[in-house]
Structures are given as C-alpha cells and as structure tokens.
Structure 1
Amino acid sequence: MSKTTLFISDLHLDASRPEIIQLFLQLLNCEAKQAEALYILGDLFEFWIGDDEDHEAVQVIKAALKALTQSGVPVFLMHGNRDFLLGKGFCQATGCTLLDEGCVIDLYGTPTVLMHGDSLCTDDVPYQQLRQQLRNPLWQQQVLAKSREERRALALQMRSQSGEANTQKSTDIMDVNADAVKQLFLQHQQQGVKCLIHGHTHRPATHDLVIDGLIMQRIVLGDWYQQGSILFCQPEACQLQAYHPA
C-alpha cells in the first residue's frame, strides 16, 4: 500500500469491548504497517485517567503502537473529548506525536486542517462550557493529583452524566455548526487550506462546500462502536471505508 495516509478517530477503546481492541490491533499490524503515517484524531480511549493507567488492555495497546512507530511508521495523536488527559508519558511510551487541535498538514499537496471536531459544535452551549473546564490546565493538574481510583471513579461519573445529558439534546445541536466550519476555513485562507478532517460527531461522510467561491471539503470520520472506520488518503483522492475483522 504505497503512498497512503490513514486517519481514524472515536475508537473509544475500552476493556469492556475487546473485539474493538482486537480490530484496532489488526489495523496496526496490517494496513498501518504499509502506510506512510497514521493519524488518530481524538477519543482513542473511552476515557483516560492519566498516563499512569496500568490496565492490561492499555498495556497491550501501548505495546502495539510502540511496535508500529519503531517499525518506521509515524503515529500522530490528538486529544478528544474523552481522552484529553493523554500526555507526554503516553507519547514517550508509544512513540506517538501529540498534535494540537486545528493543526495544518500538507496532505499530498493539499493543505488540510485536522481537528477532533467537538469545538465546532458551538450550538451545544453547555458542552462548550464543560469543554472549557476540561481543557483548563489547572483543572487537569488538580485531577491528576488524585489517586488512580479517584480518577477512575470521576471518569465513570462524568461518562454517565454525559450520556444522560446527550439523551436530552437534539441531534442537530450535537452536530457541527455551519458558520463555525466556514469561519475555520476563512481563518486558514492564507495557508491555502482546502480540506478539513475531523471526528467526534460519529457521522461519517464527505461534504463539499463553497466558501468565497472556492470549493472546500469536510471529511467526517466514523466511530468504532459497531465496526471500524478508516479514511484512506492517497495522492489522487481520499476514501472513507468501513473496517471489519479479517
């Protein structure tokens, strides 16, 4: 698989879903080994309590990522709304490189901005307020000072509260805001950005839009709850594909 870059997001890996962990390991051992790079755009884990996480399933995932990066395939990682506490320790253990939200890469000649995507869901005001708290370095420092058991309990509580809150929201509110997407492209005009790749919404699709007379593309990655979802990008084009066990 020459000249191919892979993009995934929203795997939500958790020991309670071993089949999805195995599917991810399959990707790392097969398609990813033939790729030029692998980008994970947030929510690799269902939740992350800190880089001292010692669960057996996490150790297996870290070892597989390390094997891939040591084979010469770079792996780039971005924070999601579930694993925002991923830090330098995880990167040192795996060889992954942590990217900032909204970074721009040259994807085979096309300037492309990468995001998890939750910051574009501006209609969901309560979530944006929560996001601001979760990304606050002081708050994160206070949480990481707690014991692993306390952090795990807090993560489970927050996950439960998030699930309950989402049942009360319309699906439109939890999707990206069109004006936010437009403003993002306009902010990157000088860099010549023509493409946006993101996850978070779990609505895999490719959207073509026209901004200031120019054709732009927004590619949304799918989640890994029922099956895998991978964006295969080559110099000619990008294609979203479902990913299944071999």
Structure 2
Amino acid sequence: MKSADRAAGGSTLPLFDELPAAPGWTQIDLLSDLHLAPDTPATLAALERHLRDTPAQAVFLLGDIFEVWVGDDARFDGFEAQCTALLRQAAQRLTLFFMPGNRDFLVGPALLADVGMQGLSDPTVLIAYGQRMLLSHGDALCLDDADYQRFRAEVRGGAWQTAFLAKPLIERKAIARGLRTQSEDRKRGQMPSDWSDLDAAACLDWLAHAGADLLIHGHTHRPATHALAAGKHRVVLSDWDLDGQHGPARAEVLRLSATGLQRLSLV
C-alpha cells in the first residue's frame, strides 16, 4: 500500500510503501552495505552464518548488499551464482526483503523470484510492534552531493537501464570494474566522515510524510543514532568488512523486536 504523494518543503516527496509486519514476526533483522564481491570471502561467510543461525523470522537487506550488480542474468555463473544460492537457501527458512542501494540498483524481478526474496521500494514504512519506522538505503537524502544526485536520477531511469542491460554481460562487467576503480580512487585518503551525509531537513520531511518518528538507513558507513528533532531520530546501519579492506573488522545487525532496537556485533 502506498501513502499519498504530496509536496512538502518546496519539493515533491516520493510515494511511501507501507509494509505491516506479519503476526508471527517476533524479531526482525536489518542490515546493509556488505558490498559483497569476489574479494570479500570472509564477509560473505559471515552473512551465510548469520542467515543460517539468526532467530529472526524476517531479514531486511537495505541496499549495497553487492558491491556491484550488472543485471539478473549475471546470477548463473561465478560469484553471483554463489550469492544467489546462499540467498535462495536462506529464503527457505526466513522471509527476505531486498531494497536496492546505489551499488545494486539493477537487482530485478528475475533474481528476486529465483531466490524467493520480496522487493522493497525506497522508502518503505515498516509497521511493527506498534510503531511506524521509515526504511531507506539513504542515498536519495544525501542532497549536498549534487553530482551524485544527477547521476542517480539518470541511472534509475528506464532509458539508461534499458540501454545498459542491452549490452553483453561481459561488457557490463567491464564497465562496472571501471566504475569501481574510479570510486575507490575518489575515496582513497578519505574517511567515511568526509563523505556526504543525509540532509536533516529532508529526513524530517520524509518522517512527517510517513507519519513516523524513526528513520533507519545505511549508505553512509557511519553507524550511530542521531537526534533530528524532539522525538525524531535516524538510526544508521553499519557497513560490513571482515576482509581487512577498509580498516578494523566490523559487521553489525540491527535487531528489532517488541522491546525495541538492539545493535548486534558479529565480530
């Protein structure tokens, strides 16, 4: 169900899907920003263990689970096939949800159906345990990064995606490798604290539109809880890195239950 679209703060806000929790969900796990790739075997193994052992009934994957996803036809071979099999196995015992991030926005209906995951629009209001919580990957709210917002608008458009997906798979993978190299070059010497953060006023607009007090998101790699206004907060999910690529090992899940939110470190 989508809440009505309306203007606020001088701009048009997106439509907000609403997802009521199933009655049997006593625990819900939320995670994002694993950036899985062939050179992150330890991080992939940690995800496999968590999906196998978690007591939660539902797991929400809120974007950038993959470092890059060049189209659902990639799922049949190599690393992508390994990830597909892992998620398919997990979906046999869990309810899995997937929200696209800025790295894996090309995850489409073929992968979702093959695995048995349910797709989530960004943003989505999760209604659980008497609360309305707004879920987002977070990149759409990094308004200070005008260049990225223009790029995001282009690649989320149907024309760009149709043209890109029409290219041979080997060419798409080569393009993705080049973009990843450019991204790493830009980040070299930077800390996550140097990256663009979410716009506080825009976060408050979204919360007001959603009728929620809490925004849960990833993207920034800066796990923390921020007060936005009286009674309004945003909770930032942790990124995962157990392969020593970007500093000390870290992997964290945010668990939601009737007693509230709990951060769980898997390190």
TM-score (normalizing by structure 1): 0.89
Deviation at 1:169, TM superposition (A): 7.9
Letter in 1 for 2:59: L
2:231 counterpart SS class: strand
- 1:243 maps to 266
- 1:205 maps to 224
Deviation at 1:179, TM superposition (A): 1.5
- 1:6 maps to 29
1:63 counterpart SS class: helix
Deviation at 1:68, TM superposition (A): 2.1
2:73 counterpart SS class: coil
Cα gap change, 1:130 to 1:186, in 2 (>3 Å): same
Q: Residue 204 of structure 2 contacts residue 228 of structure 2 at CA under 8 Å; is this kept in 1?
A: no
- 1:195 maps to 214
The whole-number CA distance in structure 1 between the counterparts of 2:107 and 2:266 is: 25
Deviation at 1:168, TM superposition (A): 8.9
Q: Which runs of 5+ in 2 are unaligned?
A: 1-24, 242-248
- 1:112 maps to 133
- Match among 41, 46, 55 for residue 77 of structure 2: 55
- 2:232 maps to 216
The whole-number CA distance in structure 2 between the counterparts of 1:50 and 1:159 is: 16
Letter in 2 for 1:222: S
- Match among 171, 179, 195 for residue 201 of structure 2: 179
1:70 counterpart SS class: coil
Cα gap change, 1:133 to 1:165, in 2 (>3 Å): farther
Residues 1-246 of structure 1 mapped to structure 2, 5 A cutoff: 3-31=26-54, 34-53=55-74, 54-71=76-93, 73-166=94-187, 171=193, 174-188=196-210, 192-210=211-229, 214-225=230-241, 226-244=249-267
How large is the RMSD of aligned CA atoms in angstroms?
1.8
Deviation at 1:125, TM superposition (A): 0.8
Deviation at 1:61, TM superposition (A): 2.1
Q: Residue 135 of structure 2 contacts residue 217 of structure 2 at CA under 8 Å; is this kept in 1?
A: yes
Q: Residue 121 of structure 1 contacts residue 173 of structure 1 at CA under 8 Å; is this kept in 2?
A: no
Count of residue pairs the alignment pairs up? 234
Residue deviations 1:189-225 (CA, integer Å, cap 9, x gap): xxx3111110000000112332xxx502211001012
TM-score (normalizing by structure 2): 0.83
Q: Residue 229 of structure 1 contacts residue 240 of structure 1 at CA under 8 Å; is this kept in 2?
A: yes
Task: Give the share of equivalent positions with the same residue, in percent.
Answer: 36
Cα gap change, 1:173 to 1:19, in 2 (>3 Å): closer
Cα gap change, 1:168 to 1:140, in 2 (>3 Å): farther
Residue deviations 1:140-175 (CA, integer Å, cap 9, x gap): 111000111100011111122223344598945511
- Structure 1, 165-174 or 21-30: larger mean CA deviation: 165-174
The whole-number CA distance in structure 1 between the counterparts of 2:155 and 2:111 is: 19
The whole-number CA distance in structure 2 between the counterparts of 1:125 and 1:93 is: 36
Residue deviations 1:4-48 (CA, integer Å, cap 9, x gap): 1000000001111111111111111111xx212000000010000
The whole-number CA distance in structure 2 between the counterparts of 1:218 and 1:7 is: 14
Q: Residue 34 of structure 2 contacts residue 66 of structure 2 at CA under 8 Å; is this kept in 1?
A: yes
- Structure 1, 8-17 or 158-167: larger mean CA deviation: 158-167
